[in-house]
């Protein structure tokens, strides 16, 4: 993983010194490509583990699952995400498939200017 693919507020996993996987929020990125979490702990991008998108995570990021149309909807602003986590402009145009939470966060922000955060959790970055 490279720092250029990350933004402040991105959610990622990392393995702590006990070997356990923990979720962190990126609160800073240095010129030396180190990232900082909410505790101001620094680590390299090689220590980060992207979080795979799942239906539960997408819903927890504010999307709603539409059983009628078999896709995820975000109401304000309106955005559709297919069940395979892809966005398609039209059948012959651009198709973007997202695999990780930070990719969805970055893409959504680029389109809307709105940060996606997990429900019931607010940013821990000061």
| Tens-place pLDDT, residues 61-82 | 989 888 888 888 887 777 778 8
Please give the CATH architecture assigned to the domain spanning 3-49: Roll (2.30)
Task: Name the band, by pLDDT with cuts 50, 70 and 90, for residue 125.
Answer: confident
Residue 49's nearest CA partner among 27, 16, 83, 17 is 16
In the chain, domain spans: 3-49, 55-112
Can you read off the two tokens belonging to residue 79?
């955005």
User: What distance in Å separates the CA atoms of residue 57 and residue 79, rounded to the nearest whole number?
Assistant: 16
Give the other-Cβ count within 10 Å of 68's Cβ. 6
pLDDT attached to residue 25: 93
Give 29-64 pLDDT, tens digit per residue. Answer: 998 889 999 888 898 998 999 999 999 999 999 898
- Please check whether residue 45 is in contact with residue 1, taking contact to mean a CB–CB distance below 8 angstroms: yes
pLDDT reading at 90 higher than 60: no
Higher pLDDT, residue 78 or 114? 114
């Amino acid at each position: 993983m490279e720092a250029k693919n990350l933004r402040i507020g991105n959610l990622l996993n990392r393995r702590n010194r006990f070997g356990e996987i923990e979720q962190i929020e990126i609160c800073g990125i240095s010129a030396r490509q180190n990232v900082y979490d909410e505790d101001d702990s620094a680590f390299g991008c090689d220590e980060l583990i992207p979080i795979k998108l799942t239906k539960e995570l997408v819903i927890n990021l504010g999307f709603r699952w539409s059983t009628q149309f078999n896709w995820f909807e975000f109401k304000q602003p309106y955005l559709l995400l297919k069940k395979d986590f892809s966005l398609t402009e039209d059948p012959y145009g651009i198709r973007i498939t997202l695999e990780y939470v930070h990719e969805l966060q970055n893409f959504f922000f680029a389109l809307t200017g709105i940060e996606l955060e997990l429900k019931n959790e607010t940013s821990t970055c000061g």
